[in-house]
Chains A and B, each alone.
Chain A
Amino acid sequence: MKPTDTRDPDYFHKVVDCQWACPAHTPVPEYIRLIAQGKFTEAYLVNRRSNVFPGILGRVCDRPCEPACRRGRVEEEPLAICRLKRVAADHRDEVKHLLPQKPERTNGKKVALIGAGPASLTVANDLAPLGYECTIFEAHHRPGGLMISNIPAFRLPEEVLDEEIDYILDMGVELKLNHRVESLRALMDHGYDAVFVGSGAPKGKDLHIEGREEAADNIHIGIDWLESVAFEHTDKIGKRVLIIGVGNTAMDCCRTSLRLGAGDVKVMARKPRQFFKASPWELEDAEDENVEIVVNHSPKRFVVENGRLTGMEFELMEYDLDDRGRITETRTVGTKIIPCDDVILAIGQENAFPWIERDIGIEFDKWGVPVVDETTHASTLPGVFFGGDSAFGPKNIIWAVEHGHQAAISIHKHCQGETIEERMPRGLNLQSAKMGVNEWMYSHAYEGAHRRDMPLVELKERLSNRKMEVELGFDAERIATEVQRCLNCDVQTVFDAPLCKECDACLDICPVDCLAIVPDGDEDALRQSLRVPANNTEQALYVSAPLKDTGRVMVKDENLCLHCGLCAERCPTAAWDMQDADIFIPHVENEAGKVAAE
């Protein structure tokens, strides 16, 4: 097999599973080490460079990093990465003076940003300090987009949201509230150099079945209903509430219902649990509040008596699954009426662009979605860029942030007359973590403790106040233990083949048996040659150049490595070394040459 090229920045980046899985590539182990040292402010700033909203995301991020975390493959549960992000935000000192500042003069380039959600805010965050004149247009009376309208305050307190949005507005960003953009053409006539569309996916899907019109007063579209609760237009709901759909919006709807006076809340799912779209922890939080999740019930009709909603009829479903867990057959085995006072529909949302003229030069596909380049976020009309949910449909905040970073690069290049496709590549900087004999610049010992749980406000108390934050945050013991659970995957095992004398020391000491010295072969053969075959093909297999004494190769399965450094400590020739990998993710500040590559 061809020796692995570890100079490719993506090779070691993939080993840092959390950072690779994070759309914004937040250097997770780096900020966790800072938290471990009590450097909360520094940890916050490392986070902020990548994900812009550490306080917000430390509470409500969709956490793609956690299912990816190596720790979950070594023992039962991954590191509580999201909780630790919140620790950095909760315990930071004043950071205002450490953030990018409003420039003394602008560069004369005007950028219009539509919608004050996380995508537009990120674009403004990246461009304003470089001198761009950014104007955000927001339909509502408060900025934040979905973060304010759809995420309930008991999960994300308003002051946390406002503080992090203010950091961006303070960079000299103009915010026009209560200013719905009704026509893109009219906006563009104002002479903007670039327009960024971050208007989200604001249209909740409806369910057109029997009884929908007659019972309209008691049937609510999930995201609209959450918004009217957030903006205090709605403050009560019936005693018995059914939520249709089982995504994260459904979880917010059921928990909000409980806080508005509902006593019996059921979430109705069409399919079995393994098909649920909601994150496992959001399901857990809802069930913790005694929400019942009912599976295999498909909506048939709304039951209306005397012009009033009294219940909902469901078809009872049965499914046959194949051995890969896919549905092969669907059967209806009966119907059932479940009485209720209100129904909330949380079955998805779409983007809608009635305000974009179709003859303006922006191409739409047959579903009415604009054609957007996945790297540059450019539409087919030069100078108009899309990001967040409005670009590729509903995703989450952290994706919106990454879209914002990428769109900011494109907008900068567009305004400077550069080719937007020619972007700075990612980089990698490796530095030995060796400080002395068996001394490393990171805490390499394996912490055997299990994942710390989040302390919560007592149930009765939390339901009494819609705005009371449920999660209390980690205390000192939880922080101290959880930071040590991080495996420091960014401190890489780096092998220097010419130094190896094939003494087997590293193979013998490896606590997860991920090394072997074997005759060269094809990848399948090498994967099977380890004591524990490397069957997780999503994880790379490292293969060295031939070794000098026997011509065999060193093989490492990246799947389970603890990054404990024992191979390097046992190596008599320092052929194995632990090296801190700094993965460089370019932002517009780097493209603009204001900040040298870190």
Chain B
Amino acid sequence: MTSMPKPFIDKHLPRNKLGLSVRNYEGVMSTLCAGCGHDSVTAALVQAFWELDLAPESAAKVSGIGCSSKTTAYFMGQSHGINCVHGRMPSVATGANAVNGQLHYIGISGDGDSLSIGFGQFAHAIRRNLNMLYIIENNGVYGLTKGQFSASADYGSKSKKGVPNEQTPIDPCIQALTLGAGFVARAFSGDKSQLVPLIKAGLMHKGFALIDVISPCVTFNDHAGSTKSYAHTYKYYHPLVHTDFVAHADEITGEYAEDGEMRVTLHDGGELRLRKTDDNYDPRDRAQAIETLMTGESNGEIRTGLLYLNEDLPDMHAANKLPETPLNALPFDALCPGTGALASLQKRYR
């Protein structure tokens, strides 16, 4: 961490449509270790929100416990948010989403919070197709408790003291694909040129959007022999698809542009432009996505980008026919139909 907060200077910075600079999207001073990947993810979120011209107060940040879960304090200090029980963030996000579907929900979690204690919660949030951006800041260790292997640590990856991990890892992307998630991506905290467009796309995707971000733990998992270090990730980093998010594109000219760029329209009218870097990769083919991840696992390649996208699944709100208007904006008589209505309801169960 640093000894002081970042001075607020934005004279030199451009403004977005709301008249805000990126500085207006930052939060309090980070207390994470110097060089932590999580701080880069935070910076990418700040950049993405600023580029999308979203007001900070249009977002709700939810998180559980862990280094990753602390980071919701470090961006958009003027957003809604809750830092809740370990692994239970998806439940709280579900509740919040049910009563107010108009906010942009950002869940920040870690490999411990999502793949160990909160693994069931994580799975069911996907099944519900909760409309949220769910970021796992994945570093393969429990940093807050000084470096034990987490559930995402690769088999054979070595701890700081040189002991290899002998348990098989959980891959959150493969899990999300098998559970039916409509937006599954993998990224790296060291590459914002990929991460920022993915965050924008994930925020605009209607439904559950998972981004598993390899975010190295600089203190406990950044040594030789680790498979989640900066050096290892840079060495085996392999983007499959390059994603660009275009807000409200004026003209949509079919599925592929002339240069082979694939275009996907999102529900709010924005557009994703996907440029393949691998010839045969089609991010709409779920089986291929799973296969690609599993073959990547065996040769050590870290395959990244927007792995899978399906815009056609109804989200929780749509499936449950929940009101579009947030409950706090509904008139009292709509929220509380009165004793007569209650009596008639009770009568049905007699």
Contact = CB atoms under 8 A, between A and B. Distances in A.
B348 interface: no
A100 to B, nearest CB: 41
Interface string B30-43: 00011111011011
B4 interface: yes
Contact of A502 (B11, B34, B230): B230
A513 B192 CA distance: 15
Contacts of B218: 503, 572
A362 interface: no
A188 interface: no
B70 to A, nearest CB: 16
B12 A501 contact: no
- Decide if the interface of chain B is mainly helix, strand, loop or mixed: loop
A505 B35 contact: yes
A512 interface: yes
Nearest to B216: A503
Contact of A549 (B2, B222, B231): B231
B7 A446 contact: yes
B77 to A, nearest CB: 16
Contact of A572 (B3, B8, B35, B235): B35
A569 interface: yes
Contacts of A501: 35, 222, 230-231
A167 B317 CA distance: 85
A507 B40 CA distance: 9
Contact of B6 (A74, A438, A509, A549): A509
B9 A503 contact: no
Contacts of A391: none
Contact of B36 (A505, A513, A550, A564): A505
B12 A513 contact: yes
A503 B40 contact: yes
Interface in B1-57: 1-4, 6-9, 11-14, 22, 33-37, 39-40, 42-43
B213 to A, nearest CB: 12
Contact of A512 (B3, B9, B39): B9
Interface in A468-514: 501-505, 507-509, 511-513
Contacts of A502: 190, 230, 234
A503 B37 contact: yes
A562 interface: yes
Interface string A559-592: 0101010100111110000000000000000000
Contacts of A513: 12-13
A532 interface: yes
Contacts of B192: 504
A503 B35 contact: yes
B187 to A, nearest CB: 13
A448 B22 CA distance: 19
Interface residues of B, number: 32
Contacts of B36: 503, 505
A374 interface: no
Contacts of B216: 503
B34 A504 contact: no
Interface in B162-199: 189-190, 192
Contacts of B11: 74-75
A207 interface: no
A504 B7 CA distance: 18
A95 interface: no
B6 A511 contact: yes
A226 B339 CA distance: 97
Contacts of A550: 234
A439 B3 CA distance: 8
Contacts of A570: 2, 34-35, 39
A573 B40 CA distance: 16
A571 B34 contact: yes
A454 interface: no
B252 to A, nearest CB: 30
Interface string A533-576: 00000000000000001100000000010101010011111000
B34 to A, nearest CB: 5
A384 B42 CA distance: 67
A570 B36 CA distance: 9
B230 A549 contact: yes
A381 interface: no
A570 B4 CA distance: 11
B237 to A, nearest CB: 9
A504 B6 contact: no
A186 interface: no
A507 B1 CA distance: 14
A338 interface: no
Contacts of B22: 531
B339 to A, nearest CB: 56
A99 interface: no
Contact of A505 (B6, B8, B12, B34): B34
Given A502-B230, A569-B34, A560 B12 contact: yes
B2 A508 contact: no
Contact of B33 (A445, A512, A572): A572
Contacts of A564: 4, 7
Contact of A504 (B2, B3, B33, B40): B40
A24 to B, nearest CB: 31
A505 B39 contact: yes
Nearest to B193: A518
B11 to A, nearest CB: 7
B2 A511 contact: no
Interface in A106-135: none
A505 B9 contact: no
A503 B230 contact: yes
Contact of B7 (A531, A532, A562): A562
28 contacts: A75-B9, A438-B3, A448-B8, A501-B35, A502-B234, A503-B35, A503-B36, A503-B40, A503-B189, A503-B218, A504-B40, A504-B43, A504-B189, A504-B190, A505-B35, A507-B43, A511-B9, A512-B9, A532-B12, A549-B235, A562-B9, A566-B4, A566-B6, A569-B1, A569-B3, A570-B34, A570-B35, A572-B34
Interface of A: 74-75, 438-439, 444-446, 448, 501-505, 507-509, 511-513, 531-532, 549-550, 560, 562, 564, 566, 569-573
4 closest Cβ pairs, A-B complex: A572-B35, A446-B7, A438-B3, A508-B43
Interface of B: 1-4, 6-9, 11-14, 22, 33-37, 39-40, 42-43, 189-190, 192, 216, 218, 222, 230-231, 234-235
Given A505-B40, A513-B12, 15 more contacts: A75-B11, A439-B3, A444-B4, A448-B7, A503-B189, A503-B230, A508-B39, A508-B43, A509-B39, A511-B6, A511-B9, A512-B9, A566-B2, A569-B34, A572-B33
